[in-house]
Amino acid sequence: MQRYATITVIGRDKTGVIARVTNFLFEQKANIEALEEAVTRGQFSMVLQASWKDGQLKPTTLRRGLDALAADLGMEIKLRLTEPRRKQRTAIMVTREPACPEALLAAFKKGQLKKAEPVVIIGNRADLGSLARSHKLPFVYIPWNDRKRAEKRVLEVLDKYEVDFVVLARFMKILSPDFVWRFKNKIINIHPSLLPSFPGPQAYRQAYEHGVKIIGVTAHFVSMHLDEGPVIAQESFHVKPDWSLKRIVAEGQKHEAKALVRAVKLYLTKRLDVYWGTVKQV
């Protein structure tokens, strides 16, 4: 049986990094399945997926070698070993709105998301701790007063629970590019508008004030740019003339939950590919 790993490399840009990492993996009998790299404002980032034939992967040697390489390059190198047949381990990040996390957890319970399992709920507020406990899931409260410190703590939690992908179920904080790259095309967010229209936190209010007659929601991969990630799924609804902003928000929340669950289902089919910023079903 083949073994798989995802390796992320992050640090100040310098020459020879890709060659050093891939040569080391070649020495470890790895096959490079996919590689993406980018340099943003002098920051080098690379995500690499590798596989090994049965019996050829030596995890201790691999980890020790990558640690030594990271120290020599002065960069962060993270290794995540994955089993091809295990369920995808999911972290759900929340703030205080319950509709989306409730819908996700209900879908998991009903067996609608069979290829994944929720392993932890992370909140920047403590409001939804009882929801996590009712589903027998650990809830980790991480205040967001200092984003850098908060993101560092979140990454520690994701490592602890060996998380494969993250769902932002109305998580109302912006994640830095440094965080996002570590889970490139593995963070799914729900936004209350038909992107690219009305980005930002007040999308329903903006739509209401503009007199929009059709309002929608967008589930998308999180990218380095706010509310601009590749679109996975969208839902829309017609606004009646007498609807208040409160009525629009309530209707929108139903569609947010529906679109987010559908996006996770599509992600788990493993039939999504991001090509030039657009999600394609393959």
**What is the set of active-site residues?**
227
Residue type (1 letter), 83: E
Residue 170: what are its φ and ψ, rounded to 5°?
A: 65, 45
- Please check whether residue 157 is in contact with residue 137, taking contact to mean a CB–CB distance below 8 angstroms: no
Q: How many CA atoms lie within 13 A of 50 on its CB side?
A: 26
* CA–CA gap between residue 276 and residue 56 (Å, rounded): 34
Burial class (CB within 10 angstroms; exposed 0-12, middle 13-18, buried 19+) of 30: buried
Alpha carbon separation from 127 to 132, 142, 157, 253, 254 (Å, rounded): 10, 12, 19, 18, 20
Chain center to CA of 97: 19
Q: Is the dihedral of CA 13, 19, 20, 25 positive or negative?
A: positive
* CA–CA gap between residue 238 and residue 195 (Å, rounded): 16
In the three-class reduction of DSSP (H, G, I as helix; E, B as strand; rest coil), residue 266 is classed as helix
Alpha helix segments (H runs only) across the chain: 17-27, 59-73, 99-109, 129-134, 147-160, 177-181, 203-209, 245-268
